[in-house]
Amino acid sequence: MRIGLALRQLHRDETDLAEGLLHLSERHRVDHEVFHLARDLAGWSADHVRRIAEVAPAYGEDLDPDAVGESRLAERVRERLGDALGRSSAPELALLRDLREVYLQAQGVSVDWELVAQAAQGIRHHDLLDLTRRCHPENLRQARWANAKLKESATQVLLS
């Protein structure tokens, strides 16, 4: 069985999504909605990473439950970059680019969850299926938020 490989990929992609959301949050900290909501959504992915790591040993994988994190130095660098972008002439274009990236990451994670769910159904592993039923809807919410924020911002940004 290659379910362990799918879990490793899902773990990596959820980690990347969490980091992408944290990056979005820091770069656009002047937009309080983006700053706070992106951080909350990153927390969901960090929780997913922990949950994936908990079930992974049953499928031959040893994954880091704390793969999502920020060093203080990286946080300060992102903070300064976010402040600089907040004062630059085109932070709105950067917001669209970053939201697009998060949306694409979230959609990729959704595919990963679908693959794992199908495998769990095929082998009738209820613990793994329960995990997908718990985490995949939150991931879909992350993608819907990024998409809605893109739609909300696109017209104003691109026509101004």
Confidence of residue 37 (pLDDT cuts 50, 70, 90): very high
Confidence of residue 84 (pLDDT cuts 50, 70, 90): low
Does 134 score more than 50 pLDDT?
yes
CATH at 7: 1.20.1260.10
- Residue 128's domain spans which residues? 3-159
Name residue 128's amino acid. Answer: L
pLDDT at residue 64 in the model: 93
What's the CA dihedral at 49, 55, 60, 62 to 10 degrees? 40
**pLDDT average, residue stretch 21-49:** 95
Confidence of residue 8 (pLDDT cuts 50, 70, 90): very high
What angle, 0 to 180 degrees and rounded to 10, lies between the N-to-C axes of helices 32-55 and 3-27?
160
Residue 42 to residue 67: CA distance in whole angstroms: 12
Confidence of residue 90 (pLDDT cuts 50, 70, 90): confident
The reported pTM is 0.86
Which is more confident, 86 or 18? 18
The total number of structural domains that make up the chain: 1
Radius of gyration of the chain (CA): 17
Calculate ∠ Cα 103-109-111, nearest 5°: 110
Does 16 score more than 80 pLDDT?
yes
Does 49 score more than 80 pLDDT?
yes
Total Cβ atoms within 10 A of residue 131: 22
Cβ contacts of 63 within 8 Å, gap of 6 or more: 7, 8, 11, 49, 52, 53, 56
H-type alpha helices, 30-90? 32-55, 72-87
Q: 3-class secondary structure for 114-129?
A: HHHHHHHHHHCCHHHH
**pLDDT average, residue stretch 40-50:** 97
Cβ contacts of 25 within 8 Å, gap of 6 or more: 34, 35, 36, 38, 39, 42
Does 119 score more than 80 pLDDT?
yes
